């Protein structure tokens, strides 16, 4: 199964945090799973670190290198098809630009997103939790 991790699911998986649901962890760990990471996740974390809202235990670059490579995750590059989907997405009560971009990527790629946030479903994204 091919899936995209949202920022929280990614961090919780890498940090072995109990907030990641058991079903989410199981699907990520499945051998046939192809796990994708959006650049929006490391962009979001970089902003939170610069605003002193988040601290990593390891240097930023080392953390991401290990998080992605050690887990055999793949980067889902942002392309025009993804941002084109944003044009037609409603705003409703979910204006987080990082989440909206990840939802657009999931829609354009026709893949599920692993997330605790049920607001992804308002876009028609299949959510795994």
Per-residue pLDDT tens over the stretch 98-126: 999 999 999 999 999 999 999 999 999 99
Exposure on the CB side of residue 68, measured as CA atoms within 13 A: 16
Structural domains in the chain, sorted by start: 2-128 (3.40.50.1010)
Q: How far apart are CA 12 and CA 67, in angstroms?
A: 11
- Asked if residue 75 lies in contact with residue 68, where contact means CB atoms within 8 angstroms, the answer is yes
pTM of the model: 0.93
pLDDT of 44-103, one tens digit each?
999 999 999 999 999 999 999 999 999 999 999 999 999 999 999 988 777 899 999 999
The conformational region for residue 72 under phi > 0 = left, psi -120 to 50 = alpha, else beta, is left
């Amino acid at each position: 199964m091919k899936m995209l991790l949202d920022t929280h699911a990614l961090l919780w998986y890498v940090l072995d945090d109990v907030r990641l649901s058991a079903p989410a962890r199981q699907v990520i760990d499945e051998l046939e799973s192809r796990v994708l990471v959006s650049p929006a996740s490391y962009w979001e974390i970089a902003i939170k670190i610069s605003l002193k809202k988040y601290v990593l235990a390891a240097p930023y670059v080392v953390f991401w290198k290990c998080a992605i490579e050690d887990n055999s995750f793949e980067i889902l590059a942002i392309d025009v098809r993804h941002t084109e989907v944003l044009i037609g997405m409603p705003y409703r009560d979910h204006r987080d630009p990082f989440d909206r971009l990840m939802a657009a990527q999931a829609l354009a790629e026709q893949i599920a997103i692993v997330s605790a946030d049920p607001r992804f479903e308002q876009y028609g994204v299949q959510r795994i939790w």
